[in-house]
Structure 1
Amino acid sequence: MNPILVVSFPAIGDFIRSHSAIQLVAERFPGSPIDVITSPVAAPLASLMPHVRKGWVLDKKPGWQGLVDRYRLGRELRGQNYQAAYLLTSATKAAIAPRVAGIPKRIGYPREFQFGLVNRFPADWWRQLLNLGWGHLRLYDEVCDIATLAREPAPVDGWPAPQLIIPPSQMENWRRRSGLDLSKPVLALYTSGLDDVRKWPIERFSAIAADYANRGWSIWIIGAAREQSAAAKIRAALPEVVDLTSTPLLMDAMCQIAASTLFLGVDGGPSHAAAALNVPCLLIFRANRSYDGGPVNRHVRFIEPPISTPGRIEGTFGVSVEQVLAALATMTSQPSSQMV
C-alpha cells in the first residue's frame, strides 16, 4: 500500500504527543508505511515510535527562507507516492509541502482558512473553526480527531497513549558508554529553566534530591542547556548529584530517562518522553494545567496547586516538598518495561 505522511510538531513534547494520532492512522491503514515531518531537534525520536518508518526534517525558519524550504521539501516528497497527509498542526505553512508534493488527500482543521491547501476535514471542522480561546480542543483530542476524521467517539478508556521504544541493543550500547553507576535505583529530575513559568522552586528539588540520596539512590538531573543553571544550584547543595544537562545527543538523553527508576519533573518535553518510555512519573504542573498539557499515559501522576490557591501564589509554588515526597512514596519503584 502507498505510504502516509503525518505533518507533526517541532517541539519535542508536542511531537511525542502526536504519536497517539500516528497509532490511530496505523490502525486504520494496516500495512501502509507512515512517515513524519518534524524539526531537526525532534526528528531522532521518530526511530523510537512504533509504526513510523522514517522522519523528514524541516527546520523552522522565518520569512521567505522558510517558505522556500517547504517548497523544496514538497518537491522532494513528490516521488514518494503518499496517498494522504495528516496535518496535525493547523498552521497554513504546514500544508505547503504536502500540497507541492501533490498528495491527493490533505487532512486537517482549516483554522487559518487554508482551504485548497487542506482539502479534507474532520466531521466537526466547522464547529472547531468557531472555537477560539478557552473552547479550543486540547492537543491530544485534536490530533486524534484529525486521525479519525472525528467520526468516532473517544473510547471510554481514551485513545492510544504515546509510546517510545528503545531497542535493547541501543540501550545496552548506552549502558557501556555512559560511565554512570547503574547499580542503585535512580531518581531523575527535570527542573526546566530557572526563568520558566512552569518551574518548581529549585530549593524544593534540592530537598527531594537530598532525601533520596540519603536513602542510597542516585540522583540524575535530565535536560539541556536551559536546565544547566538549575542543575548547578542543586549540585551546589548536593555535590553527589549527577548533572546530565550537557548530554550532546538526544538519544542518549532518552536512554538516561529510560534507565531511571522514578522520574520527577515539571511540564516539558522530557516529561512527555519519560511518560512515553513507561517510566513511573510524578509531574508538577500549574493549577488546572495537567489535563490540557500533560501526558495521557496512565502510569503518570500529577500534583497541582489547588485552584483555590490565592492569586499571589503563582505557578507551582503551591506544591510543597511534603506533598511530593508523600506522592513519590506511593509509587511503585520498578524498572522501566519499555526495552522490548
Structure 2
Amino acid sequence: MSAEKILILGPSWVGDMVLAHSLFQTLKTQRPNAIIDVAAPAWTLPLIARMPEINRGIALPFKHGQLALLDRVKFGLSLKEQGYTQSITLVNSLKSAILPLAAGIPQRTGFLGECRYGLLNDIRPLDKAKLPRTVDRFVALSADKNQAPMENNASIPNPRLIADHNNALQALSKLGQNAPTTKVLGLCPGAEYGEAKRWPAEYYAEVANAALSHGWQVWLFGSDKDLPVTQEINQLTSNRCLDLGGKTKLGDAIDLMSLCDTVISNDSGLMHVAAALDKKVIAIYGSSDPHHTPPMHPEAVVAYLGLSCSPCFKRVCPLTGPDAHLACLKRLTPPSIIQDIKFLA
C-alpha cells in the first residue's frame, strides 16, 4: 500500500505558520509514514525549510487577497500527478479551497469557513469555545473525522524550528560581525498589524540600555517596514545595538535569533519564531489576546495588563487623550520588563 501523501494549504502570516508546526508534528506522530507537503506564500518557505517533518514547501504564486480563480484551478491541476490522498486547509477563505478540488485530492479537510460546501468534503465543526487558540484549531484538523479533537491540553506539541548555525555565522560575517562572545538580547519592536501592537520605541531603548550596561549585546530584528523603529531605538542607545532592521531575509533572521539568549517581542511572527527556537521569550501584548495566540513555550513570560478596553483587536488605539491612548502598552513600563530578564542569572 502506498504511503499517505498530505497537502497542507498553509497560512500567510509568519506567526500562524509557526503555530502550524504543532499540526505537522501531530500528523507525523499519528501517521509516521505520511509524506507532508505545504503549499503557502513564498515568504513562508524559510520557516517550512526549518521544520523536519515537511517533505517539500510549495510556493503559491497568488497575491494576497487575489481570487485568481483560473490561476488557482491551473495550479491545482498541475499538482494532480502528485497523488495526494488528503488536503488540510488551514485558511478559512473560499479561494483557498479551490486548489485541492482542482488537484483531485479525494479527502479535502478543513473548517467550513466561507461556505465551502462541495469544495471541501471533510468539513469539521469549529467550536471556538472548545478550541480557543489558533494552535488548537490547527491541531484539531489532524484528527480522524470520527475522532474527538484534542482540546487545549498538554498533548499538543510546541512548535520547534531547527536553526542553521553555520548560516547564522555566515550572515553575521556578511554584516561585518563576529560570533557573539557575550549574552545577546534580541528585540523585535515591529508588528505588521499596526501600532496598537507596538510597545513604544523609547521603552525598548530603555531595556536595551540596561542590557548594554550589563555587558550584553543587543540585536534589533525587523523587516524593511520596521527600519524606522529599529533606527530610533539604536539612536537612543548611542548606536550601540546591532540594527538588523531591513538587513536580513526571514531565513537569516531565524538563524541569527537562535544565537540570542533572551528575546523581547511584540505579539508578532518573530515572537512565535523565538518561542519555537526555545529562547526565553518576553511577549508584550497590547490590542491582541494572549489567550488566542500565546507564545508556545512553557517558560514564556507574557506581559499583558488586561485593561477593561483590552483586547480591542484594533490596528490603531481607538481611545484618545494622554491617559487613555495606548494605555495597554504604555502602562507596561520598562522596569517591569527588565526584572524578567534576570541579567545576572
Bigger mean CA offset, 26-35 vs 201-210:
26-35
Q: Structure 1, residues 281-303: CA drift from partner, whole Å, max 9, x if none? A: 11111277111122222132111
Q: Distance in 2 between matches of 1:209 and 1:277?
A: 21
1:154 aligns to 2:151 (yes or no)? yes
Offset of residue 176 of structure 1: 4.9
* Contact 2:50–2:161 (CA under 8 A) maintained in structure 1: yes
In the alignment, does 2:26 pair up with 1:27? no
Q: Distance in 1 between matches of 2:208 and 2:166?
A: 31
| Cα distance in 2 for residues equivalent to 1:308 and 1:152 | 33
% identical equivalent positions? 23
Matched residue count:
325
Instruction: For residue 192 of structure 1, report the CA deviation from its aligned partner.
Output: 0.8
Partner of 2:200: 201
CA–CA distance in structure 2, aligned partners of residues 7 and 309 of structure 1: 35
> Are the aligned partners of 1:25 and 1:147 in contact in 2 as well (CA < 8 Å)?
yes
Unaligned runs of 5+ in 2: 311-318
Aligned counterparts, 1:1-340, within 5 A = 1-61=3-63, 66-122=68-124, 125=125, 128=127, 137-148=132-143, 149=145, 151-154=148-151, 156-174=153-171, 176-181=173-178, 182-192=180-190, 196-238=195-237, 239-286=239-286, 289-307=289-307, 312=324, 314=326, 315-329=328-342
Relative to structure 1, is the Cα distance of residues 154 and 241 closer, same or farther in structure 2, using a 3 angstrom cutoff?
same
RMSD: 2.5
Tell me the CA shift for residue 177 of structure 1: 4.3
Residue deviations 1:66-93 (CA, integer Å, cap 9, x gap): 3233222201210110110011111111
Alignment-mate amino acid for residue 114 of structure 1: R
Residue type at the aligned position of 1:226:
K
Give the helix-richer structure, 1 or 2.
Answer: 1
**Unaligned stretches of 5+ in structure 1?**
333-340
- Residues 11 and 39, structure 1, Cα contact 8 Å, conserved in 2: no
| Aligned-pair CA distance for 1:205 | 0.5
- CA–CA distance in structure 2, aligned partners of residues 65 and 152 of structure 1: 31
Distance 1:241 1:53 in 2: 38
Letter in 2 for 1:304: Y
Give the CA deviation at 1:97: 0.8
d(CA) in 2 for partners of 1:287, 1:76: 42
Greater shift after overlay, 82-91 or 284-293? 284-293
Cα deviation, 1:199-237, whole Å, max 9, x if unaligned, reads 001111110001111111111100111211111111211
**Alignment check: 8 A CA contact 1:87 1:95 kept:** yes
Deviates more, 1:292-301 or 1:210-219: 292-301
Give the TM-score taking structure 1 as reference length: 0.87
Change (3 A) 1:63 1:208: closer
Distance 2:77 2:288 in 1: 44
Question: Structure 1's 76 and 325: CA in aligned 2 closer, same or farther, altered over 3 A?
Answer: same
Rounded to whole Å, the distance in 1 between the matches of 2:15 and 2:112 is: 23
SS at match of 1:197: helix
Q: Give the match's secondary structure for 2:111.
A: coil
For the residue of structure 2 that corresponds to 1:42, the secondary structure is helix
TM-score (norm 2): 0.86
Letter in 1 for 2:185: L
